[in-house]
Amino acid sequence: MKYLLLLPLALLLITGCGSPQPSDDASDGADTADNSTAEEDVYVLPDADEYLTVTDSIGIELGDSNFVFGTIAGAEFTKDGDIAILDAQKSTVSLFTPDGEFIRRIGRNGSGPGEFQLPTGMTFMPEGGLVVSDGMGGKLVYFDKNYDYLSETSGFMPSPPAVITAISGMEIIGMKPDYEQNEDGMFMGFTVGKWNMESSTPVIVYYSHMSAFDPSDLSSMTDDMVLFTATQDGTIFTAPMSTEDYSFTSWTVDGEEIFTYENEDFQRVQKTQTEIDLEAELVTSRMIAQGMPASMAHWDPDPYRTSISAMFVDGLNRLWVSRGTSATSAFDVYDLDGNMLFTAALDAGARAKNWKTIIGRDSFICFDADPEDYPRVFYGELPGFE
C-alpha cells in the first residue's frame, strides 16, 4: 500500500513550507475567544524590535526559462553566499548570485545518478558541497564543492529525511518519516537524527515517536512531528509542533540534552476559518497527488496555530524561532544559551502573509509555496551585519 508509505512525506512537504496561511487578509487572532475561530480582518504588521525588509527578488512569469520556476520547495544560501532555489516540479536546484544573476542548474528529473524524482529538501555543507533529499527516489544525493555528482545514500524506509541541515564533517541532521507494521497494528511517526554518507541508519537519534495509524484521524500524525535546526559545529535545537506550549530543547551533537527553554507567557491563537479551509484543501490535494485514494484523503486541521513554525541559526550564532501564531513571519531571537536578544518581523505588507521566511548566514529568503501569480523568491539582509 504505497500511499501509506507516502503519507508522512506529504505531511513533511506541507510542514516544510510552513503552515498554510489565508490568501486574503486575516488578523493574528490573539484577542479572540477560546471557543471560536479567529475573525477575518485587515493586515497588521506585528510589533517587533527589528524589521526585515525585502531588497530584491528572483523569478518571472514568462521569458528566460532560468528565471521561470515550477514549484518552489525550498531556498537556501550556499557556503559562498549565492542563492539556491529547489524546484520540485522541475526536479532541479538553480543557483543565482546575490545580485540575482543565473549561475547554473544542479540535477534534473530522473532516477539516475545526480537525478531526482521528487526533491523535498536540500542543504549546503560547511566544507562546500550540496545534499538533496529525493523523497520519491528514496535517497540522499551528494554533490561536491563544484556541485558535480559525488554519491548517493539509499535504503531508507519508507523514505529519506525530507527536511535536512548540514553540519561539519559531511554529516546532516534530518527528520524522516517512520513506518512499522506488527501484530499490534500499523504505526507511523517521525525521527530526528544524524546521518553520514555511508548508511541509511542514523548515527544518533535525538527524537523519535510512533503512533498507531488511524485513517479516520490522519491529522493526529502531526503530534509526532518536531522542528529542528543546528549550528555548523553540531549544537542541535528541537521543538515540538505543539499548539499548546512554546518550548525548545538544545542538544550536543552526541545527543546529550543541554537545556530546555519554556515560554510561560505563551498564549494559544486560533486559526481563521480561511486558514482551516485552505489547509484542509492543500493537505488533501497533496495526499491524492501522492497516490492516496480520494475516499481516504481527508484532513481535519487543528483549530489552533502551532506555537513554533520553524527554527534557524544565523552567522552570528543567533537562534531565530519563528512564531507559528503570527499570520506574518515573526521571530523571537535568542542566543545559544536560550537568552532572548530581540524580536523581529517581516515588513513586506499583506502579500507576505503566505510567505515562508528562511534565515541564512547574514540574509533572509522568502517565498510563497502556492502563489496566486507566479513563483519567485524575495530576499534581504539580517539586522546586526555591517
Q: What is the pLDDT of residue 32?
A: 40
Q: What is the pLDDT of residue 33?
A: 39
Instruction: Give mean pLDDT, residues 238-247.
Output: 92
Q: What is the pLDDT of residue 210?
A: 77
CATH code where residue 49 lies: 2.120.10.30
Instruction: Give mean pLDDT, residues 98-124.
Output: 94
Q: What is the pLDDT of residue 215?
A: 60
Amino acid at the residue 42: V
Report the 3 state secondary structure along the chain.
CHHHHHHHHHHHHHHHCCCCCCCCCCCCCCCCCCCCCECCCCCCCCCCCEEECCCEEECCCCCCHHHCCCCEEEEEECCCCCEEEEECCCCEEEEECCCCCEEEEECEECCCCCEECCEEEEEECCCCCEEEEECCCCEEEEECCCCCEEEEEECCCCCCCCEEEEECCCEEEEEEEEEEEECCEEEEEEEEEEECCCCCCCCEEEEEEEEECCCCCHHHHHHHCEEEEECCCCCEEEEECCCCCCEEEEECCCCCEEEEEECCCCCCCECEHHHHHHHHHHHHHHHHHCCCCCCCCCCCCCCECCCEEEEEECCCCCEEEEECCCCCCEEEEECCCCCEEEEEEECCCHHHHHEEEEECCCEEEEEECCCCCCCCEEEEECCCCC
Instruction: Give mean pLDDT, residues 343-361.
Output: 92
pLDDT digits (tens, 9 = 90+) for 14-44: 554 444 443 333 344 444 434 445 555 567 8
Residue 386 lies in a domain: no
Q: What is the pLDDT of residue 21?
A: 41
Domain count, the chain: 1
Question: Checking DSSP bridges between strand 340-346 and strand 355-359, what pairing results, if any?
Answer: unpaired
Residue 20 lies in a domain: yes
Confidence at 4, pLDDT banded by 50, 70, 90:
very low
Amino acid at the residue 132: V
Instruction: Give mean pLDDT, residues 191-200.
Output: 92
Amino acid at the residue 219: S
Residue 178 lies in a domain: yes
Q: Domain limits at 123?
A: 2-381
Residue 251 lies in a domain: yes
Indicate the range of 81-90, 173-182, 199-208, 374-383 predicted with least confidence. 173-182
Question: Checking DSSP bridges between strand 50-52 and strand 340-346, what pairing results, if any?
Answer: parallel
Q: What is the pLDDT of residue 61?
A: 94
Instruction: Give mean pLDDT, residues 213-235.
Output: 75
Residue 181 lies in a domain: yes
> Residue 165 and residue 271: Cα distance in Å, rounded?
29
